[in-house]
Amino acid sequence: MPEKKDCMNVGVIGGGIAGLTAALSLRKFGHEVTIYERYHYAGEVGASLSCASNGGRLLKELGVPLLDTKPVILKKLIKRNFQDGETTGVYDLGDYEKSFGVPYYNLHRVDIHDLLLKCALSEEMEGIPCKLLVDHKALSVDAENGKVKFENGYEAAHDLIVAADGIRSLTREQIGNEPNFTPSTSCCFRCLFDTKEVLARGLTDYSKNEAIEYWWRGTPGLSGIDKIVMSPCKNGEVVSCYCFYPSSKNDLRMGGWNDEASTEELCGTFPDLDPKVLDLFKIAYDIKQWRLYVHQPYEHWQKGKVVLLGDAIHPMMPDQSLGAVTAIEDAFAIGYIFSKEFNFSVEDGLRLYQEVRKPRATRIQAASLRARENLNERIGWSSKENDNPDKLTITEICGYDIKEDIKNTAMKLGIL
């Protein structure tokens, strides 16, 4: 059985948000980490990413200076009519920071990715600086022996392998999971526009609302695929939009989310959308589109010396805006479980990880799928406390105490 050492030699496959945060967490908690990224540079795409407090608090504890990314601090969620933009509901986030310890940040993905990478490699942060090997695409893992083979011929052996290789993870199947996904009913565009240009052209400036705003065609009780999700990031200088539409419109099959699309395609897909938003679409740049896929929960989160996290193991619909922060929870958990506070073997630690993370991530995954076609399922609007127990509450998500959960679960498993 693999034993835990005080300072493990850890390999992290994938340098996205999950992999970089895991690297940072393992480093802080005393381990030596090498990150393997398939591309030359683990670049992120231009779009916003809302970072709820369950992620923000953990990044703060890991020493990540989130304010360096010039985040927008979100104040509310706004629901609007699809066709005329009339406000139909406001969820005021109130004193969110007081309730949950940190603000609800809206970040630019490129900025948070760059910052995590900088922190992982930094000489100044706690622990041994991580090593980054780019152009290292992992092809296969030997879970029992902790070995990885790469496309470039390199081979590595580690005490622990953290696979954060994203939604199309190769590692997921290699540890025994059958592929279990189907094309969703929805496709999505994303695009950006600059507030400076919005103002110069006299268009509607939504950045000043400091909100996530939704133009949704559905009505309470009815489902609706069409949805525009708009939010500002980068000090309000950039506004980002995700625009969902029925896949029956073009049955797009492209798997990536970096496929170019034109202004005409974007505007033409939503002919009856609020004209104020259509005017903004005309000045949008970085327009991309992709098909969404629905993954069912995967059975095996770990095997031998290999553990999965982030989109590699719980890919979810984007409609709760919780995929990255759930990955951040996973990443923190891996470091904390193998911190000096405990003395778990690798086997017990990974069993504990799965026991803690799987129920929570699966619950968020299911709620994200419901929220795909029903905005009223989105946290904030989803539930008053003690409403339908299937629904997520903002408190269970944003106020989650991961350390308590880990300790309580370890006691239940009889390993603490």
Ligand X SMILES: Cc1cc2nc3c(=O)[nH]c(=O)nc-3n(C[C@H](O)[C@H](O)[C@H](O)COP(=O)(O)OP(=O)(O)OC[C@H]3O[C@@H](n4cnc5c(N)ncnc54)[C@H](O)[C@@H]3O)c2cc1C
* Cβ neighbours for 413, distance < 8 A, ≥ 6 positions apart: 348, 351, 352, 355
HEC assignment per residue over 11-43 = EEECCCHHHHHHHHHHHHCCCEEEEECCCCCCC
**Does position 172 bind ligand X by CB under 6 A?**
no
* Cβ neighbours for 347, distance < 8 A, ≥ 6 positions apart: 1, 2
If the CB atoms of residues 169 and 376 are measured against ligand X, the closer one turns out to be 169
Return the residue of 29, 36, 214, 281 that touches ligand X, per CB under 6 A.
36
Residue with token string 């000096």: 340
Q: With CB under 6 A as the contact rule, which of the stretches 59-67, 281-289, 309-317, 356-364 interacts with ligand X?
A: 309-317
By CB under 6 A, the count of residues binding ligand X is 33
If the CB atoms of residues 242 and 270 are measured against ligand X, the closer one turns out to be 242
**Does position 15 bind ligand X by CB under 6 A?**
yes
Helix, strand, or coil here: 212?
strand
Return the residue of 130, 306, 307, 324 that touches ligand X, per CB under 6 A.
324
CA–CA dist 168, 179 (Å, integer):
10
* 60, two tokens: 């703060």
Do residues 383 and 393 touch, judged by C-beta distance below 8 A? yes
Q: With CB under 6 A as the contact rule, which of the stretches 114-122, 317-325, 350-358, 367-375 interacts with ligand X?
A: 317-325
Q: With CB under 6 A as the contact rule, which of the stretches 77-85, 201-209, 216-224, 315-323 interacts with ligand X?
A: 315-323
Residue with token string 């919780």: 322
If the CB atoms of residues 243 and 280 are measured against ligand X, the closer one turns out to be 243
Return the residue of 56, 232, 310, 335 that touches ligand X, per CB under 6 A.
310
DSSP state string for 50-115: EE-HHHHHHHHHTT--GGGG--EE--EEEEEETTT--EEEEEE--SHHHHHSS--EEEEHHHHHHH
According to CB under 6 A, which residues from 45 to 104 bind ligand X?
49-50
In the chain, what is the straight-line distance between the N-terminal and C-terminal CA atoms, in Å?
A: 19
- Residue 219 C-beta: closest distance to ligand X, Å: 23
Crossing angle of helices 53-61 and 323-337, in 10° steps, is 40
**Does position 165 bind ligand X by CB under 6 A?**
yes
Residue with token string 């695009």: 191
| Count of other CB atoms within 10 angstroms of residue 248 | 10
Q: With CB under 6 A as the contact rule, which of the stretches 9-17, 62-70, 88-96, 404-412 interacts with ligand X?
A: 9-17
**Does position 16 bind ligand X by CB under 6 A?**
yes
Do residues 215 and 207 touch, judged by C-beta distance below 8 A? no
Q: What is the DSSP letter of 298?
A: P
β-strands 306-308, 160-163 pairing: parallel
Residue with token string 């968020």: 364
Q: With CB under 6 A as the contact rule, which of the stretches 15-23, 77-85, 202-210, 393-401 interacts with ligand X?
A: 15-23
If the CB atoms of residues 29 and 105 are measured against ligand X, the closer one turns out to be 105
Q: With CB under 6 A as the contact rule, which of the stretches 60-68, 87-95, 97-105, 166-174 interacts with ligand X?
A: 166-174
Q: With CB under 6 A as the contact rule, which of the stretches 14-22, 246-254, 338-346, 392-400 interacts with ligand X?
A: 14-22
Return the residue of 10, 12, 19, 369 that touches ligand X, per CB under 6 A.
19
**Does position 274 bind ligand X by CB under 6 A?**
no
**Does position 166 bind ligand X by CB under 6 A?**
yes
**Does position 232 bind ligand X by CB under 6 A?**
no
- Residue 200 C-beta: closest distance to ligand X, Å: 28
**Does position 213 bind ligand X by CB under 6 A?**
no
CA–CA dist 23, 75 (Å, integer):
31
Binding site for ligand X (CB under 6 A): 13-19, 36-39, 42, 49-50, 137-138, 164-167, 170, 188, 242, 310-312, 318, 321-325, 327
